[in-house]
Amino acid sequence: MRIEQNFSLENYNTFHLPVKTRWFMEYWTEEELGRILRDEYFQECLSTHIGAGSNLLFVNDYNGIIVHSQIKGMETVGETDDAILLRVGAAERWDDVVAYAVSRGWGGIENLSGIPGETGAAAVQNIGAYGMEIAEVVDSVETYNQLTFEKRVFTRAECQYDYRDSYFKNPHHDPHIVTHVVIRLARRPVPRLDYGDLRGRLEGQKPTLQAIREAVLALRAEKLPDPDQLGNAGSFFKNPVVDRATFERLKAINPTIPSYPMADGRIKIPAGWLIEACGFKGKRYGAVGVYEKQALVLVNLGGAQGDEIALLAESVRAAVFDRFGVELTPEVKYVG
Ligand code: EPU
């Protein structure tokens, strides 16, 4: 176990904000996690469990305990003719899991290449990209209840996955800390190339998993800034989902508005388009800005504070609401 006081989180958030936490605790085993959670001082304090901090906005210094897992490891725990069950420690970098699966020819997560963050958080957040979501391959999620200290294995159905949402994000549920994620990978992968940009790159080919991974990494590099070069947390907002009547009203006034139909009949609208239409793309405001190649990404241009990013996000939200009547909700989690 590792315990630090007045600890800098600069390398634990991809905005690279120079925030400090009063306490920082890291554990390597479930037993250590149990000891942290049962500690009386811990129970009295404000606490937040983080992954790699690639989807967090620390609005100021954290007056509590930041907890981080170091539970790693990948092991095959089941095998059939069609599938492999891979059990992954929550602290394993998600992209290392993708690279491992791709190198063995196991399919199902190759489109999720290059997403920053750790596996536990990926399963909480239901990460998605290029027509795939982690929810589709989650077999089960192993957790530790922060209040009752019970271990529980959630089936995929019990995780209640939705677009960037899960049981674990619902504030009405007891906080559950993910220790391991079991994913089901296909031994005979079927490429998933529905996403326009990806299909465009691989047109006419029968791509290998490795070729798909490389195409996804190249697409990401074109549109998304590398957090080590330019602090950011990927998409700052979720893409809003509206009912058909709302969409028809928007389309009548904005004929070029892009849209993606959802299975339930509602329509997903790219927030990046709405933000660009409000004139924010590429704009700089002191130390913060809107990325020039993808308006959904807010960036730390150097030396930004969390509240400056929060203020820019609020201006963007208000402008989109005034112009389109559509409410943007942050995808990143505010902490502090
Ligand atoms: N668009 C614009 N202007 C912009 C950005 C986007 O007009 O500045 C429009 C374009 O029409 C474009 C469409 O939005 O075709 C979609 O853009 P993109 O393919 O970049 O995807 P996105 O909807 O903006 C989502 C995810 C990303 C994921 C990509 C690729 C969310 C909130 N974001 O973005 O996930 O990588 O699709 O599948 O769902 C993340 O969650 O952090 C993230 C990066």
pLDDT digits (tens, 9 = 90+) for 207-247: 999 999 999 999 999 999 999 999 999 999 999 999 999 99
CA–centroid distance, 270 to ligand 1, in Å, is 6
Which pLDDT score is estimated for 141? Answer: 99
Q: Which pLDDT score is estimated for 205?
A: 85
pLDDT for 196: 85
**Which own/partner contact pairs does 274-282 have at CB distance under 8 Å and 24+ positions apart?**
274/240, 274/320, 274/323, 274/324, 274/326, 274/328, 275/237, 275/316, 275/320, 275/328, 277/323, 277/324, 278/316, 278/319, 278/320, 278/323, 279/319, 280/316, 280/319
Q: Model confidence over 45-76: pLDDT tens digits? A: 999 999 999 999 999 999 999 999 999 999 99
For the Cβ of 317 lying below 6 angstroms from any atom of ligand 1, the answer is no
- The alpha carbon of 35 and the centre of ligand 1 are apart by a number of angstroms equal to 41
Asked if 331 is an active-site residue, the reply is yes
The per-residue b/e assignment along 283-308, b for 16 or more CB within 10 angstroms, e otherwise, is beeebbbbbeebbbbbbbeeebbbeb
SS3 content of the chain, % helix, strand, coil (to 5): 30, 30, 40
- Report residues of the chain scoring pLDDT below 70: none
Q: Which member of 164, 199, 249, 323 is catalytic? A: 164
133 lines ligand 1 (CB under 6 A): no
Identify residue 189 by its one-letter amino acid code: P
> Which atom belonging to ligand 1 lies closest to the Cα atom of 219?
30
pLDDT at res. 227: 96
